[in-house]
Structure 1
């Protein structure tokens, strides 16, 4: 569609990485089942379930948003090269620079890497590494120290028992003199009770009061015995924490059971750690796209050919040999970090670089139109991979290349993939562009007619509710689903079964009892004869935004089947 003076087009880019996207969707579905199992098994461990699932869905949305952006890179490069051949220059607008993921990767792996960082991979690795539920790692027993600690605990639970192995000899009580005060008498009467108890302590074995100095007191049970009365008798020096044979046997039994318990806890911890490591290895082996910003700059000639005006401080640059990449700062000795964006802008306006990449963070106050006062007056082709969430900021980004005193008006290209889930972003853009016409021309009817992309409307909400009720078999589907036939009811039932499984896998259908073959059902063409219960909460029944966000986590064919339906 063409708008006078501005040449605005919505360009649908066919996703070329269907296999990559499908594997990523399957991995997220499997990860969700794994996290459900792990969080149920380790219910008392961190993170708590609400925090875990908030992080899961947040990472899920960002991951597939990165995937959608990466899918547009080939079309972006092709359109940019085509514009350069037509003697035009190119401005590419995006929001996500991937700086955080790049810096994390550089911190972990070093300044020299084999290839550009994959934002989706690093995001998923970080989520699993920081949020996978693990049981607390048990502290191992430290031999004799643990025995002493057990004895100490037993002693603290047995009042009146001395930690000393031998009984102290206590001075005999003497009657108080007439001159002593009542207070002293009260104190002495307390001593009398203690001393009299000590005087009549006897050996538990021979019941003899003799040789009280030689009596040993068990630090656990408090029993008194003569060393010679024990079998076998004790002839050597005994430690202060001496225990009788009966208590020692009980202690040994307890310690043996305690060691077995700790070994079981350690085994449980190591098994969970192995499962986590296995998931991380699967993620590392997955074929995932590189950071779009670095990829585009590299394919269009590198930093020497592309002016970058973003908020990031460093970038990955391909080595001169073509093998590997190196992380380096964007600024140089001659240009400070604060002035690097203005320096890049001037290179573009002087025609020394004919491609510019801008983000909201780095392009504030920057004008890139074909200014009659600038050396570079070539017509701008403004490619937009990703728009800001605010309508005002979206207008500002368009305005970077469309201002007064320009030699020619820019051409706008809004890039979307043919993924059904990315129509979530198209829906938002539709609203923004409709408001763009109203704000710039004072007429709400002005601007491109993109109502076909606006799903988040009263009609879209009603259609979503009807679809949900049909899939949950609360009502009949108003139309025959795509790929089904009214003459073959089994095809409609197959669609409903797979649709339920798909909604379960992305958390729309809740409180389900899942079978072990859920993933196979939702990702393949197999059938399931079993039944599973579940529900869609009322707040989700009209939430078009959540539906489209979650839809991104399904394989492309299932996404498009939903939106066509």
Structure 2
């Protein structure tokens, strides 16, 4: 082991990876291995065995193996040393000692709690009276201190470093932000910018400042300031604006001017005040949206500004971190020259790398993330079965969409429009929305029954959805000159609008021009006609095709479900009983005489913008016990069982429609789980038995997995929402899709059988699936080549299109897909290729020893980082899976087994034994050999090659890299990949005998 001392650089770590762990570990007498040799003589039972057992002489036996397996190497899985433990740990500031404890229990993921924040060097100026009265809690003060401390750092690009507050809903980000503004105001920086998602949140900002006795700091709404000239009355204070205001423009006095320029003029050159990006996830996709670009532009033009990013969601994917340019993770003086370099490295290495990002940010002092304890919060998924009538309607719709695809293709071929991306984009997006509305409608009856039971039990109900269906309602209003006497079907509207507005026509071809190149081969034999772009069908016949589709849609529309939001409000007793907090301007209601009419949501004395706040107050006061929220109410509205309000019933938060992104999901979930609540909420996710609906669960599950890793440093932080099993948008989903499509086409023979309960057996299954995948555009029936896979076939498209299959077909196809998906994951787990996330090394074992450590300094911003190489050892006292291991290690007439006892004995010698004649012989430490030697008459492949082997012994040794891993991640991974042909580094967490916690990359 001496050759590993005094490592000079990270390159020296290479040597360790190929070197076996040392075996001469010294132990104290009471830790000494108790090894015994047992000779047994008797005439009672003929066996040849090799056992480990309890000292109480309780013997585990196995039947002898009659056929030797000479070449099979015995390997013990590392699973017995790695395991998951509780995801969260109670949170208390570790280095900040001021302030009163937070009023509610706050937790941090175990992963983040295992890495320490930097030492505190900043001196706070906030008055002691504010601190002693508890106006800012201890953990809020901690965030203020670290934010201001980080603002003292200047990055190598001469911009001031920023800080990310990733606290969950209810921890009090608003007060924390107000505290940062107050601290800077006391230091003489009298101007601050505060960006959020809604102008209404200005009142929340004022409340937060008042709550910490900083009411002297005025808050000015940008939308109330004269544009484009400004107002001298706002020379100091907080300028409050929305993200959308950043892209506002005006043409006044012949001079073009933007809101962004107005803001920059107000700040003045050399501005070093605070810029708050509240709910900063709204600024994601910075390079692809005007809003995102404006956020980046503002930061670049005010290089000395003190930037604070604040959001419970932060960034749901690495690519959405681009607007966080002040964190100093990429750029000059970092391992990543550009954001693209950072993005490529992180996405290539998956969630494991994202976990490293969150930990590295905390260690560097640029990030903090706590959340309210989920103690008392319950989560469950309700899978809803469909009745026969609904299945019949759904199947009719699936067949009509398949027919519509054929008709659209015929018309497009006639007009040389087959390659139009816009045409097929409209078709398939409408296809997806149509079946999404059906999926939601399938759950309405169950939701109403469930909600009424909860109301009878003395609770109140919050229903979360995304789509209001207002667009279709307004279309029907326009068609009927503003009159409406029936509830509208949103699904019918989507289908009808597609055919009416986007069916291929000669007019469309002339307006948009014919495609120069056919990018999609026709599924019908019109090749010769397409070459000359001539139509054998007259314009009137095309119109007849279009009208035929519209007539069939009208017939189907009589059976399609109604607008979900209007139907829910109607079933709960009308607007008088339901608080609606959505973005729509009007609704369809049933009057007392049974007639139906359209009405505006606005009330006398209240505008549309104010009505959501009024409805919230009615719910919180107990006037209404059912609330329905959409994205419009997902940010800034508190609906928890607050101690200060009249309605303190337990909230049952039912998610009828899963949001399309985890950003929105987290915002909705945080509306009902906040601080100062009497009872924690209950979350219920409704998912129908329609296999295709898992598309939406898959989207959210994928985002939640990434979100937990980035914002809390542990992918399991959001796993408790019980949606992780629906995450198919990963490499395993892609591989599974490739296998099932090739198996359906007969190109390969899959190792996974199709569902055994499919009517007609396997042959009928493959035939039906082949035609079904053609009907939804996953396979293409080509005139000369037969049926083949679409060139852009991918998992996202598959999960979208599967909705368009008949119920029994989509469920069977989805089952076949998930069976292949599970098979591939299990295969990788057996081969050690599966990324398990952050695991605990030897959970429950408190005898982990730190043998050596080597420290390395890595240059980087905002401060130099430190990477430490540890070598740790522990004795394996307990094998949680000893039974499965015993089954695996049957060799050549002998059987090996593992005991859960800390005491070990070996049984060998004669082929017969009687338990009463046991003779125990103690082994010396020099006799200790690996399992291979004991099991193979002295043969061990690794020993014969001159290496050291401890397989089967209780001594376990690992090398761990800890500290600022993000800065060396790529380099270390490349080194490991060169040596082991795998870039996978297991991230582990452990607690040593002296109670120090470590998180790092491990290799044995």
Is the counterpart of residue 556 in structure 1 residue 819 in structure 2?
no
Aligned to 2:573: 301
CA distance in 1, matches of 2:502, 2:491: 16
For residue 782 of structure 2, what is the aligned residue in structure 1?
512
1:410 to 2:661 alignment: no
For 2:466 and 2:450, the matched residues in 1 are separated by 19
Mapping of residues 458-469 of structure 1, within 5 Å: 458-469=731-742
Contact 1:59–1:127, Cα closer than 8 Å, also in 2: yes
Structure-2 separation of matches of 1:360 and 1:279: 34
What runs of 5+ residues in structure 1 fail to find an aligned partner?
138-264, 515-531
1:34 to 403, 407, 422: 407
Q: Of 639, 645, 648, which aligns to 1:374?
A: 645
| Contact 2:407/2:545 (<8 A) preserved | no
Residues 292-337 of structure 1: per-residue CA shift (max 9 Å, x gap): 11111110111000000000111111122113x2111101112222
**Which residue in 1 is equivalent to 2:754?**
481
Please name the residue that 1:362 is paired with.
Answer: 633
Counterpart of 1:445 in 2: which secondary structure?
Answer: helix
User: Does the residue aligned with 2:765 lie in a helix, a strand or coil?
Assistant: helix
Q: CA deviation at 1:511?
A: 4.8
User: Shift in Å at residue 111 of structure 1?
Assistant: 4.0
Contact (CA 8 Å) 2:658, 2:697: kept in 1 or not?
Answer: no
Residue 545 in structure 1 maps to residue 796 in structure 2: yes
Mapped partners of 1:392, 1:480: distance in 2: 38
Asked which structure has the greater CA Rg, the reply is 1
In the other structure, the counterpart of 1:66 is 437
Greater helix content = 1
Change (3 A) 1:283 1:470: same
Give the equivalent residue in structure 2 for 1:346: 617
Taking structure 1 as reference, are residues 417 and 328 closer, same or farther at Cα in structure 2, changes over 3 Å only? same
Distance 1:535 1:84 in 2: 53
Q: Does 1:384 align with 2:635?
A: no
CA-based RMSD of the aligned residues comes to 2.5
User: Among residues 768, 780, 800, which one is paired with 1:498 in the alignment?
Assistant: 768
Indicate the residue corresponding to 1:276 in structure 2: 546
- Could you tell me whether the CA contact under 8 Å between 2:634 and 2:664 is conserved in 1? no
Q: Deviations over 1:460-481 (max 9, x none)?
A: 2222111111111111132332
- In the other structure, the counterpart of 1:21 is 394
Residues in 2 aligned to 1:48 and 1:418: alpha-carbon distance in whole angstroms: 35
- C-alpha distance in structure 2 between counterparts of 1:274 and 1:106, whole Å: 26
Q: CA deviation at 1:42?
A: 3.1
Unpaired runs of 5+ residues, structure 2, are 1-373, 509-534, 817-1004
Contact 1:395 1:436 in 2 (8 A): no
- Rate the CA distance shift 1:492–1:365 in 2: closer, same or farther, 3 A: same
Question: 1-side partners of 2:627 and 2:609: how far apart?
Answer: 18
SS of the residue corresponding to residue 624 of structure 2 reads coil
1:435, distance to aligned residue in structure 2 (A): 5.0
CA deviations on 1:332-364 (whole Å, 9 max, x unpaired) are: 112222210011000000100000000112343
Q: CA offsets, 1:191-211, max 9 Å, x none?
A: xxxxxxxxxxxxxxxxxxxxx
**Cα distance in 2, alignment partners of residues 315 and 50 from structure 1:** 35
Change (3 A) 1:510 1:346: same
C-alpha separation between the residues in 1 aligned to 2:706 and 2:714? Answer: 9
Bigger strand share: 2
Query: Which range moves more in the overlay, 390-399 or 292-301?
Result: 390-399
Relative to structure 1, the CA distance from residue 495 to residue 329 in structure 2 (aligned partners, 3 Å threshold; closer, same or farther) is same
- Report the counterpart of residue 223 of structure 2 in structure 1: none
Tell me, what secondary structure is at the counterpart of 1:455?
coil
3-state SS of paired residue (1:289): coil
Over residues 433-466 of structure 1, what are the superposed CA-to-partner deviations in whole Å (9 max), with x where a residue is unaligned? 4456557865433442543222223322222111
Deviations along 1:82-129, one digit per CA (max 9) or x if unpaired, are 111011000011111111111111111244434211011111111101
Question: CA contact under 8 A between 1:471 and 1:477: conserved in structure 2?
Answer: no
Shift of 1:282: 1.1
Counterparts of 1:441 and 1:404 in 2: how far apart (Å)? 19
1:6 is aligned, of 343, 367, 377, to: 377
Instruction: Indicate the residue corresponding to 2:728 in structure 1.
Output: 455
TM-score, normalisation: structure 1 = 0.69
CA displacement, residues 355-380 of structure 1 (integer Å, 9 cap, x when unaligned):
00001123431100000000100000
Q: Deviations over 1:208-262 (max 9, x none)?
A: xxxxxxxxxxxxxxxxxxxxxxxxxxxxxxxxxxxxxxxxxxxxxxxxxxxxxxx
Deviation of residue 71 (structure 1)?
1.0
8 Å contact from structure 1 (residues 10, 416) kept in 2? yes
Query: After the TM superposition, which of the residue ranges 104-113 and 401-410 deviates more from structure 2?
Result: 104-113
Residue 533 of structure 1 deviates from its aligned partner by: 0.8
2:502 — aligned with what?
A: 131
Q: Per the alignment, do residues 407 and 277 of structure 1 end up closer, same or farther by CA in structure 2, a change over 3 Å counting? A: same
Count of residue pairs the alignment pairs up: 411
CA 1:308–1:558: 2 relative to 1, 3 Å: same
Aligned equivalents of 1:300, 1:63: Cα separation in 2: 25
Q: Is the 8 A contact 1:484 1:492 kept in 2?
A: no
Does the CA contact (< 8 Å) of 1:434 and 1:450 recur in 2? no
Instruction: Kindly indicate whether the alpha-carbon contact (under 8 Å) linking 2:465 and 2:657 is maintained by their aligned counterparts in 1.
Output: yes
Residue 48 (structure 1) shift: 6.8
Comparing 498-507 and 272-281, the one that deviates more: 272-281
1:361-420 Cα shifts (integer Å, max 9, x gaps): 234311000000001000000011223333232111100000000010000011111111
TM normalised by structure 2 equals 0.39
Match of 1:178 in 2: none
In 2, distance between residues paired with 1:372 and 1:535? 62
SS of 2:538's equivalent in the other structure is helix
The reply to whether residue 116 of structure 1 matches residue 369 of structure 2 is no
Q: What's 1:288 paired with?
A: 560
1:56 paired residue among 420, 427, 450: 427
Q: Does the 8 A contact of 1:93 with 1:357 survive in 2?
A: yes
CA contact (8 A) 1:42 1:135 kept: yes
Closer, same or farther: CA 330–556 of 1 in aligned 2, 3 Å = same
Residues 1:113 and 1:266: Cα distance change in structure 2 (over 3 Å): farther
Question: Residues 476, 442 of structure 1: CA spacing in aligned structure 2 closer, same or farther, 3 A cutoff?
Answer: closer
* Partner SS state of residue 672, structure 2: coil
- For 2:577 and 2:707, how far apart are their aligned partners in 1? 32
1:89 aligns with 2:460: yes
- Which of 667, 670, 673 is the aligned partner of 1:396? 667
Q: How does 1:529-544 map to 2 (within 5 A)?
A: 533-540=786-793, 543-544=794-795
1:8-27: CA deviations, max 9, x gaps?
A: 11111123311111111111
Q: Write the distance in 1 (CA, Å) between the matches of 2:483 and 2:574.
A: 17
- What residue in structure 2 maps to residue 322 of structure 1? 594
Q: Give the Cα–Cα distance (whole angstroms) in 2 for the partners of residues 341 and 491 of structure 1.
A: 55
Q: 1-side partners of 2:481 and 2:566: how far apart?
A: 17
* Alpha-carbon shift at residue 484 of structure 1 (Å): 6.7
Q: Output the CA distance in 1 between the equivalents of 2:660 and 2:787.
A: 33
The 1:476/1:270 distance shift into structure 2, 3 A limit, reads same
SS in 1 for 2:683: strand
